[in-house]
A and B are shown apart, each in its own frame.
Chain A
């Protein structure tokens, strides 16, 4: 039966107010709370639900990055993934094109029927990886999914997508790549017994070189800066004052 591969990323927790490093090289990530990217949680939840509905036999979580990614994978295992693969790429940033190539290599090895990813990581906000793996594999893609219905017999997925101006429904042949939007599902919490159980599940560690993927980048970060601050506004005391100031001061009414 079908195997599902889910890619998960470790990012600065969504609630953290980030700080730009003084040397403008990047955003400060040491001593900052890190979590699984929210869209990846949704991707994993969807895979687990498909398995629980009997349409898949195994859910494999993959993460690419430094040693600490194993924590994210442990979370994935505690949520219910069967096993995990950690591609240890060291501390250097890995850009979506390389991530996509690594995922392609893993797909070729694991041969899943479905690859699910979040639609974007909340740190780089790229919104690229899923589309790129799909392109490299020449698989069809169902991006920004808010509903996924699998037809096991026909090997087809019906995907409702969140697009500008409404919801679009497409039908894609398996194997396929799906990226998740916020409204696809509500991810579960890992329970204590499941967290304990996750400790005995396996995390296979490999390197990009094992997968014959060369990490190179055609993008160079020149600097990271704070966005311009808005100047302090005024608190008005009444609707009349608000209308008056919008009319005469800001001239937008």
Chain B
């Protein structure tokens, strides 16, 4: 049976490459790509996964901008990464080195006029949330934020009210349908870069008619980032989070030790960020990062609605809190009512070392 269906799929593929299905109109999607250190970001690859779930015959172009060797390397990563990427578009220019919304939105506008995409997708990262709505307004369409499920080509599910309700929306507008997707809902398939598919063709975007003047109303000055060798919060397999009960930045070091042992990323509640224990890009919640790791361990976290919004889709949730009535226990798979200052050292001692 299995081999039979594979054969059928293959035959359909071959058939459709000769004469495209007359029923299905051609769907082409533009994915706005982010890259870092020569690699396409995992969140962008999730956006490709989302694009591929819209339709089997989706022709997916991924757009990468910037300049220099980091761009070149990311372009070859994109070209070879996924058999479903049909084209890599390269916008090579110094003015795209940094993701300023004004230039990027104009670039998207330019590409839409040229190629008439049916979908324009990006991850719900700070990059995507900054740029995509701006370009949508310029194209006079309503964008859809933070999609967690694509039910039909124009039917989507997205969380509202901090994830306390799910809203199914139908897009009834004209092309392009523009959306940002929640990366944790569209996991990247484990396809090896060296698997036997042809690299996608790479084409340079002609930026000669790109009006540089009007794009210069904004200038990028600097990025202050926290360097860490721990996994990125958004994609980590394990996340350990601390709340106000950690009491100080010093005590957060205890949590960091535990994270190191587990190969985990460190997260925080708004209270911990506001108290200055950790920088704000570690905040998990409605207004911070959305995570869905295999294991989420919350220490001294009460479980406010806004925090739960950012972690409720984790596979296994562990809560350690002195207060047995803390709302976090209502979503935790395993709860331990105890003092975190006793529990963390004990965990450090007893948890098996990660390789």
Contact = CB atoms under 8 A, between A and B. Distances in A.
Contact of A239 (B142, B159, B270, B346): B346
Given A169-B222, A227-B166, A253-B351, A122 B134 contact: no
Contacts of B346: 239
Contacts of B163: 227
Nearest to B344: A239
A138 interface: yes
Contacts of A223: 167-168
Given A14-B306, A17-B164, A223-B168, A164 B125 contact: yes
B161 A182 contact: no
Contact of A227 (B133, B159, B350): B159
Given A12-B161, A18-B164, A252-B238, A234 B137 contact: no
Contact of B335 (A138, A139, A163, A233): A233
A209 interface: no
Interface string B332-347: 1111111000010011
B173 A218 contact: yes
B198 interface: no
Given A127-B129, A128-B133, A165-B281, A96 B142 contact: yes
A148 interface: no
Given A125-B160, A128-B143, A143-B130, A219 B169 contact: yes
A62 B150 CA distance: 35
Interface string B272-301: 011000011100001101000011000000
Interface in A82-100: 95-97, 100
Given A135-B133, A182-B270, A239-B347, A234 B126 contact: no
B308 to A, nearest CB: 10
Contact of B295 (A17, A237, A252): A252
Interface stretch (B1-9, B55-63, B100-108): B100-108
B318 A246 contact: yes
A18 B161 contact: yes
A247 to B, nearest CB: 8
Nearest to A252: B295
A158 B222 CA distance: 11
Interface string A219-239: 111111111001001111111
Contacts of A126: 133, 145
Contacts of A119: 287
A105 interface: no
Contact of B135 (A129, A135, A140, A168): A135
A65 B348 CA distance: 54
A171 B218 contact: yes
A252 B217 contact: no
A64 interface: no
* Interface SS, B side: mixed
B170 A220 contact: yes
A248 B217 CA distance: 58
A52 interface: no
B33 to A, nearest CB: 14
B114 interface: no
A239 B218 contact: no
Interface in B129-148: 129-138, 140-146
A125 B315 contact: no
Nearest to A130: B133
26 contacts: A14-B305, A27-B165, A124-B160, A125-B162, A131-B131, A135-B133, A141-B218, A144-B126, A167-B225, A167-B280, A170-B221, A173-B218, A183-B273, A218-B174, A222-B168, A223-B168, A224-B167, A224-B168, A226-B166, A230-B317, A233-B317, A233-B329, A234-B335, A243-B350, A250-B316, A250-B333
Interface of B: 100-102, 105, 125-127, 129-138, 140-146, 155, 158-174, 214, 217-226, 232, 234, 238, 262, 270, 273-274, 279-281, 286-287, 289, 294-295, 305-306, 312, 315-318, 329, 331-338, 343, 346-347, 350-352
Given A27-B161, A144-B126, A166-B224, 16 more contacts: A125-B159, A127-B146, A141-B101, A165-B281, A169-B221, A170-B220, A171-B219, A221-B168, A224-B167, A226-B166, A230-B333, A234-B335, A236-B335, A246-B316, A252-B295, A253-B295
Top 4 A-B residue pairs of the complex, sorted by shortest distance between their CB atoms: A218-B173, A166-B225, A135-B137, A132-B137
